[in-house]
Amino acid sequence: MEMTLRWYGSKFDTVTLEQIRQIPGVTGVITTLYDTDPGEVWSRERIRALKDEVEAAGLHISGIESVNVHDAIKTGSADRDKYIDNYIETLENLGKEDIHLVCYNFMPVFDWTRTELARKRPDGSTVLAYTQEAVDALNPEDMFGSIASDMNGTVMPGWEPERMEHIKELFAMYKDIDDEKLFENLKYFLERIMPVCNKYDIYMAIHPDDPAWSVFGLPRIIINKENILRMMHMVDDPHNGVTFCSGSYGTNRENNLPDMIRSLKGRIHFAHVRNLKFHTPTNFEEAAHLSSDGSFDMFEIMKALYDIGFDGPIRPDHGRMIWGEKAMPGYGLYDRALGATYLNGLWEAITKEEKRHEAV
Ligand code: DNO
């Protein structure tokens, strides 16, 4: 595996490439062209400029998170082919620039959803948190200006003010879309992009829906073992793969994370590893990465990744806000750096222990 950190680009991120370069064991970044819209073609020139910037800091681009999928593709509307053609062109340009990993999601309307941006923990740190009660109390079509804004000048992905202005239209687009339709549209999209993925050896890694259940009455399908295996089988190509995000699949306490990892051998191309602390099954907060701070056994998660021979990029995920840092909630430097170091420590211990067993 390769340890990486997500980087939001010099225009938006409070964390610099120089800082990332100094986290022990981090050799790559996961990034994207942040000022593009879903459906837009990424030019080779812009991709190259991003690569050059990252490489000048002594790092490299380990993968793209995300190339966002236009709602026309998710809903299967009449103009979807135009947007799929654009997506294919972007993949082609990424391939030509030697980038071989693309994370994306198929969540309707919103990306990941939290209901608190700074819940205070006993140690004074703040974390992102979620309660179902808060979601249920919101009327999705009146949400403009509510929890979408006020994230230190940034917004959660999918909650951008310009999108919120069209929230009613977006909901209307999904009016007739249920789980089955969404699966069908995903299949159609994947079948169309697989040839270019094969040609340039691009691994597509779908990000799970977070939380892993339907919110605001919208369908959500990338939520559990059964559905993700269905997706792997429906387009049975190694380039059709998964971002294994422990914090997203882990929102559903019925998901057995190490077991899911083992069942996805050969299809996990990217891993997001973080911990959650549950108060009730629908009230949780994002803990430090350490097992003892949350509800997951992080050793077992890393061990399962090791056991399936996972060799892709991995990144610590949302961190706590600590030591007075001012940054985008979840994406500060300090706690993610601690997370990377902890995950690297687990990996070193697992690797050495396994090698020792092999030797006897
Ligand atoms: C949250 C992220 C997601 C992820 C997208 C992938 O922190 O893990 O926003 O990047 O869902 O498209």
Ligand 1, atom 6, residue with closest C-alpha = 104
The percentage of the chain sitting over the pLDDT mark of 90, rounded to a whole number, equals 87
> How many other C-beta atoms can be found within 10 angstroms of the C-beta atom of residue 348?
11
Mean pLDDT taken over the chain: 94
Q: Is 239 within 8 Å of 202 (Cβ atoms)?
A: yes
Peptide bond into 211 cis (omega under 30): yes
Note if 245 is an active site residue.
Answer: yes
Q: What is the percent of the chain with per-residue pLDDT over 70, rounded to a whole number?
A: 95
3-state secondary structure of 188: helix
Helix axes 179-200, 80-96, angle to 10 degrees: 30
Rounded to the nearest angstrom, the distance between the alpha carbon of 357 and the centre of ligand 1 is: 37
- pLDDT score recorded for residue 158: 63
Substitution site in 30, 33, 65 for ligand 1 pocket (most atoms within 8 Å of beta carbon): 65
Q: What is the pLDDT of residue 164?
A: 77
Joined together, the tokens standing for residue 205 give: 């890694």
Lowest mean pLDDT among 42-56, 141-155, 270-284: 141-155
- CA of 342 from ligand 1 middle (Å) equals 22
pLDDT at residue 184, rounded to an integer: 98
Q: Which residue has the higher pLDDT, 170 or 322?
A: 322
Query: Does 207 sit in the ligand 1 pocket, CB within 6 Å?
Result: yes
Flag whether pLDDT at 24 surpasses 70: yes
- Phi then psi for 241, rounded to 5 degrees? -135, -165
Which residue's alpha carbon is nearest to atom 1 within ligand 1?
Answer: 112
Probe residue for ligand 1, chosen from 4, 66, 314, 318 as the CB with the greatest number of ligand atoms within 8 Å: 66
- pTM (2 d.p.): 0.95
Q: Check residue 163 and give its pLDDT.
A: 74
Is 70 one of the annotated active-site residues of the chain?
A: no
The arithmetic mean of pLDDT across residues 297-315, rounded, is 98
Runs of H (alpha helix) within 225-283: 225-234, 246-249, 257-263
pLDDT per position as a tens digit, 144-200: 555 544 444 455 666 777 777 788 889 999 999 999 999 999 999 999 999 999 999
Per-residue pLDDT at 279: 97
Phi then psi for 89, rounded to 5 degrees? Answer: -65, -40
Question: What beta strand segments (E) does 58-154 contain?
Answer: 60-65, 101-105, 116-120, 126-131
pLDDT average, residue stretch 61-90: 97
Select the more confidently predicted residue: 276 or 157: 276
| 289 is known as an active-site residue | no
Domains assigned to the chain = 2-359 (3.20.20.150)
Region 70-74: mean pLDDT is 97
Strand, helix or coil for residue 142: helix
Is residue 8 lining ligand 1, measured as CB closer than 6 Å?
no
Give the Å distance between the CA of 259 and the centre of ligand 1: 22
Higher pLDDT, 348 or 162: 348
Cα-to-centroid distance, 34 and ligand 1 (Å): 13
Average pLDDT over residues 285-297: 98
pLDDT of 13 > 50? The answer is: yes
**Which residue's C-alpha comes closest to atom 4 of ligand 1?**
207
